[in-house]
Amino acid sequence: MHTYAKISWDMRRKNITVKDIARKLNLHHTTVSRALRNHPDVNSKTRARVLKTAKGLGYFPNVFAANLRNNRSSTIGVIVPVLHHDFFSSIVAEITNMAAAVGLSVLICQSNENINQELQNVNALISNRVAGMVASISQFSRNSDHFNRVMRLGIPLVFFDRVSDRTDASKVIIDYQLGAFDLVSHLISIGCTRIAHVGGPQQVVPAQLRFEGYKAALLKHGLPFREEYVIFGDFEAEYGLACARRLLSLPQKPDAIFAVNDQVALGVMIHLISEGIRIPEDIAIAGFDNDKVAQFTSPTLTSVDANSRQISRKVIDLLLRQINSIAATPVTEQVKPNLIVRQSTTRKDMQQIFS
């Protein structure tokens, strides 16, 4: 029903304990324990002696004993689909730092987009008695039953980005629609009127939201929505290349292309450049996700940053509030992404400075 570690470490050396310190100082080990934890009821001179000998003996508190005794833990668990991905690695990095700042350790798990592994991760974290969990679910985990027991055990849980549809957990989501809206509004503001959208898979929510934001911006600014300017597909560069070709074959070419992400935008750019089309003079290009590549393309690529710092901040805040029982009711917070304007969408009247 649950996995036991097949491998473990038999400690070679007897560890120093509070009793060792106590013996050395002719004190009772409880006094030592109190001294170590800055309990007020302890003579400052005694405390000093305890701290000194503890250091001298190379004492390290045994968290297992403390956690067992206190029935608590100072570890949180984080589950992500993959770690080797710009977005997730920066979120995990930030969460780890923020957790460390308040004395929490972080157990990291990857589902590898596999719902079964996600279940295993959940079980492992429960067995590790984590103080709380943070999760971004795998692409195919519409069903989130494996988190039921987390809730049932009362373990604080916060989803982010790829959230489950359950209503009993807190969530931090990214307002992709707003991001797309801002981006397309920006394209309009620099004078584009025929804005095409190279969208992602139609059934994927973040892709849908970007499309919604695109439509909303057109509507808001009185531009017509044109079927022929919208293509749905995937998240890869090759696909962007193919779409660019298709868009260029239209009788009335677009004057801007908004790609569902930076990889696709890159594909689009490569095709346009190979066709001798100037960016942004002939066609402006914008991506999404603010991938590291966006700063290194030529021209540099306008994109939308998901604001991972703010996401991490909100995730940790929500989690800590739950851990400290400040908040019991689940809340959903939205993070507003940031538009990052770069050369690929420079205003017509500013273009000379980049030439």
Partner DNA sequence: ATGAAAGCGCTAACAA
Partner DNA sequence: TTGTTAGCGCTTTCAT
Q: Which one of 21-29, 179-187, 192-200, 277-285 is the stretch in contact with DNA (CB under 7 A)?
A: 21-29
Backbone phi and psi for residue 13, each to the nearest 5 degrees, phi listed first:
-110, 145
Q: According to CB under 8 A, which residues from 287 to 306 bind a second copy?
A: 292-293, 296-298
304: nearest Cα among 180, 153, 161, 155: 180
40 makes contact, choosing from a second copy, DNA, none, with CB < 5 to 8 Å by partner type, with DNA
Binds 3: which of a second copy, DNA, none (CB < 5-8 Å by kind)? a second copy
User: For DNA, which is the closer residue by CB, 70 or 329?
Assistant: 70
- Cα 86 to Cα 289: distance, rounded to the nearest angstrom: 9
Which pair of structure tokens corresponds to residue 52? 């000194």
Q: At a CB cut-off of 8 Å and minimum separation 6, what does 43 contact?
A: none
Identify which of 184, 236, 189, 191 has the alpha carbon closest to the alpha carbon of residue 212: 184
Question: Which of the choices a second copy, DNA, none does residue 123 contact, using the CB cut-off of 5 to 8 A by kind?
Answer: a second copy
Residue 330 interacts with which of a second copy, DNA, none, CB < 5 to 8 Å by class: none
Which one of the spans 8-16, 137-145, 334-342, 344-352 is the region binding a second copy (CB under 8 A)?
8-16
Our finding on whether 15 is near a second copy (CB under 8 A) is yes
Binding mask 77-116 for a second copy (x = CB under 8 A): -----xxxxx--xx-xx--xx--x-xxxxxxxxx-x----
With CB under 8 A as the contact rule, the residue among 25, 29, 47, 51 that binds a second copy is: 51
Q: What is the Cα–Cα distance from 57 to 42, expressed in whole angstroms?
A: 21
Q: With CB cut-offs between 5 and 8 Å by kind, which of a second copy, DNA, none does residue 320 bind?
A: a second copy
Output phi, psi for 320, to 5 deg: -65, -35
* 184 close to 223: Cβ distance less than 8 angstroms: no
Minimum Å gap between C-beta 93 and a second copy is 4
Residue 127 binds a second copy, judged by CB under 8 A? yes
Look at residue 153 and give the partner it binds from a second copy, DNA, none, a contact being a CB closer than 5 to 8 Å depending on partner kind: a second copy
Out of 48, 52, 57, 62, the residue judged to bind DNA by CB under 7 A: 62
36 binds DNA (CB under 7 A): yes
Q: Which does 263 bind (CB under 5 to 8 A by kind): a second copy, DNA, none?
A: a second copy
- Interaction residues for a second copy, span 233-292 (CB under 8 A): 237, 263, 266, 270, 273-274, 292
Placement of tokens 């560069």 in the chain: 237
Out of 45, 152, 203, 353, name the contact with a second copy by CB under 8 A. Answer: 152
38 lies in the binding site for DNA (CB under 7 A): no
Binding stretches for DNA (CB under 7 A): 14-15, 17-19, 26-31, 33-34, 36-37, 39-43, 46, 59, 61-62, 65-66, 68-71
